[in-house]
Amino acid sequence: MTSLQHNSIMQQTNAWRRAGAPLPVCNEADVCDEETRRDVDLMILDYIVCAALTSILHERIADREGAEQQQEGIHGCDRWLEIAEATLHLFKTNNPGETLSDDIKFKIKTLNFSNLFFRRFQETTPAEELDRAFERVQPISASQIDENRRTFLDHMAVRETEEYEFDIEASVTLCDILPELMELCDSAPDAISDDICTIAVLFMLHAAIEQGLLYGRVGREVLDETFAWGNKDDDHSWTETRDRHRLSLCPNADEEDDDDDDDGAHEDYGEQLKRIIYENPPFEFEEEVLNLIKTLQKTWDAPILNQLEQGKLFSLGDDEVAAFKRRVVFNDSGS
């Protein structure tokens, strides 16, 4: 991913977060019905957000399967994301003071998370014992980090070429994406709440390991940052699972302490992280996230414009849909 591509992704993400600045207002009172314009704008926004999400999933699935991607010009995902951002701006301009429905808000959150997670390669009070444990940990060397990076990218089906080299300094990390994921957890429908909470715990684990193996960041503050999510009223089993994963990342959590032989008693921390990641492969974890997002899509009603594309509209028959299309098509007399 080039720095320009990375900046584009973050700009798009920031646009979703702040809902955009207003565009110049135009007077459309003579051509628009105020009672229906908001509904039309919502239909368009719904259609484009869903199309952008689908395009992101298709792009990442193609990458995972080794399919060739277009290398010149603007990619399909970039096009859809730019259109989605512009459409959101337009909705805010056309409908000042209007609040998006919870359904659209959730779809935008899903798009925001998916954009960051699937395209990130393209451009509590701590215990004193934990602090002491990390004092004995040796930093992960630059050569180890470079080897880890090459192994990780190969595992994730991300190919480096003369034109593209993964830029650690400009990359989007899993820690960067955690807030978006937790927003999804808070808004997820009951039908998938258990699945997304399971993903959230694993996401924290992978985020912490990624910080160590790819970025060389280890220590209590990394665990505090990645495992800080949760509320007092969370499900007890979820909290236990989160804390168990956190404990597994403490230096030599599975071994007995031996004060007589520090060198022999403590496994190299980088190797400890590798052992955990071998047990929880990132490629398989990403597939779980892919399946989760696709399951989320299935819980949504198809956008009205999608239904019209397919010749269907709610429970209307083919003749009724055709009649509806004839009614909404602009003609010369309407100009």
Same domain, 113 and 14: yes
Three-class DSSP labels, the chain: CCHHHHHHHHHHHHHHHHCCCCCCCCCCCCCCCHHHHHHHHHHHHHHHHHHHHHHHHHHHHHHHCCCCCCCCCCCHHHHHHHHHHHHHHHHHHHCCCCCCCHHHHHHHHHHHHHHHHHCCCCCCCCCHHHHHHHHCCCCCCHHHHHHHHHHHHHHCCCCCCCCCCCCCCCCCCHHHHHHHHHHHHHHCCHHHHHHHHHHHHHHHHHHHHHHHHHHCCCCHHHHHHHCCCCCCCCCHHHHHHHHHHHHHCCCCCCCCCCCCCHHHHCCCHHHHHHHHHHHCCHHHHHHHHHHHHHHHHHHCCCCHHHHHHCCCCCCCCHHHHHHHHHHHCCCHHHC
Residue 43 has pLDDT above 80, yes or no: yes
79, 64, 23: which is closest to 157 by C-alpha?
A: 64
Question: One-letter amino acid identity for 300?
Answer: W
**Domain that includes residue 13, residue range:** 3-121
- The answer to whether residue 317 sits within a structural domain is no
Average pLDDT over residues 62-78: 69
Spatial neighbors of 255 by CB under 8 A, at least 6 apart, are 265, 266, 267
Q: Which of 32-36, 61-65, 144-148 bottoms out in mean pLDDT, i.e. has the lowest?
A: 32-36
- Reading phi first (left if > 0) and then psi (alpha if -120 to 50, else beta), residue 216 is in left
Average pLDDT over residues 130-159: 75
pLDDT digits (tens, 9 = 90+) for 267-290: 588 888 888 989 999 999 999 999
pLDDT digits (tens, 9 = 90+) for 213-241: 888 888 888 888 888 887 666 777 888 88
Which pLDDT band, with edges at 50, 70 and 90, does 266 fall under?
A: very low
Q: Tell me how many domains the chain contains.
A: 2
Question: One-letter amino acid identity for 95?
Answer: N
- Cα gap 215→324, rounded to integer Å: 56
pLDDT digits (tens, 9 = 90+) for 96-119: 878 888 888 999 999 999 988 988
Residue 180 has pLDDT above 50, yes or no: yes
Average pLDDT over residues 26-44: 68
- Residue 138 confidence (pLDDT): 65
Average pLDDT over residues 241-251: 88
- The answer to whether residue 321 sits within a structural domain is no
- The answer to whether residue 268 sits within a structural domain is yes
Residue 309 has pLDDT above 80, yes or no: no
- The answer to whether residue 15 sits within a structural domain is yes
- Residue 12 confidence (pLDDT): 55
- Reading phi first (left if > 0) and then psi (alpha if -120 to 50, else beta), residue 19 is in left
- Residue 78 confidence (pLDDT): 83
- The answer to whether residue 332 sits within a structural domain is no
- Residue 101 confidence (pLDDT): 84
Same domain, 263 and 135: yes
Q: Is the CA virtual torsion 288, 290, 293, 299 positive or negative?
A: negative
Same domain, 7 and 31: yes
Q: Which of 48-57, 82-91, 131-140 bottoms out in mean pLDDT, i.e. has the lowest?
A: 131-140
166, 162, 169, 127: which is closest to 253 by C-alpha?
A: 127
Same domain, 43 and 165: no
Give the CA distances from residue 189 to residues 100, 108, 185, 302, in Å, rounded to whole numbers and listed in that order.
Answer: 18, 15, 9, 16
- The answer to whether residue 319 sits within a structural domain is no
Same domain, 211 and 229: yes
Of these ranges, 85-89, 261-265, 319-323, the one predicted with the greatest mean pLDDT is 85-89
